[in-house]
């Protein structure tokens, strides 16, 4: 399990899948402050770009865990849209999935957002009031994930070059791609 929540979100309640047979990796893509007090007026695209700039190493760690885990991998955050969306987009793009298909997958999250936001508010009322998802961020905005994909594509060597600049090896890329495509 790769838990992308902040340390405070993680500490608030025991992880339901944590057991002797399940490894839970806390790989936070946002700090506690970024989750509870995001920049006023921040747009989803700006927040996503901030994650790429400030949490690139953590995204590389997600790829490493996904490539080398001994079994299936579950990725999640609080709602499963922003942090999870970026991490899943990275895994898909590394494996060669086309950008249009990644955007379509990301946008499909909108079908489930009302129920997800209701669950967040029910189990963590403080997040329902302050979580980034309650601004313009209540839905999956195509331009936000397109900006992420463009960021990676603009890097020398594309997304592979981007993760390699963060310390990911060719072997890890090959392991993940083989695992995903087999």
- How is the chain split into domains, by residue range? 2-181
Task: With a cut of 70, say whether residue 59 has pLDDT above it.
Answer: yes
CA atoms within 13 A on the CB side of 133: 27
What confidence score (pLDDT) does residue 72 get? 92
Task: With a cut of 80, say whether residue 133 has pLDDT above it.
Answer: no
pTM, two decimals, is: 0.86
Distance CA 11, CA 142 (A): 31
Q: How confident is the model at residue 137 (pLDDT cuts 50, 70, 90)?
A: low
* CATH 3.90.190.10 corresponds to the domain 2-181: yes
Q: Residue 19: beta bridge partners?
A: 22
Distance CA 38, CA 89 (A): 22
Tens of pLDDT, residues 79-103: 788 999 999 999 999 999 999 999 9
Task: With a cut of 70, say whether residue 22 has pLDDT above it.
Answer: yes
């Amino acid at each position: 399990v790769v838990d992308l929540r902040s340390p405070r979100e993680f500490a608030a309640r025991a992880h339901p899948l944590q057991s002797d047979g399940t490894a839970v990796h806390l790989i936070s893509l946002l700090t506690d402050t970024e989750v509870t007090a995001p920049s006023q007026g921040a747009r989803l695209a700006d927040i996503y770009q901030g994650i790429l700039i400030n949490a690139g190493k953590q995204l590389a760690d997600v790829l490493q865990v996904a490539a080398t885990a001994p079994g299936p991998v579950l990725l999640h955050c609080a709602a499963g849209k922003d942090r999870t969306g970026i991490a899943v987009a990275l895994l898909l793009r590394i494996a060669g999935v086309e950008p249009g298909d990644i955007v379509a997958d990301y946008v499909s999250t909108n079908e489930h957002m009302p129920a997800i936001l209701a669950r967040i508010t029910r189990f963590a009322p403080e997040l329902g009031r302050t979580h980034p998802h309650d601004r313009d961020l209540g839905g999956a905005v195509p331009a936000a994930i397109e900006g992420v994909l463009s960021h990676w594509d603009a890097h020398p060597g594309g997304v592979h070059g981007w993760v390699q600049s963060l310390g990911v090896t060719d072997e890890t890329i090959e392991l993940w791609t083989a695992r995903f495509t087999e």
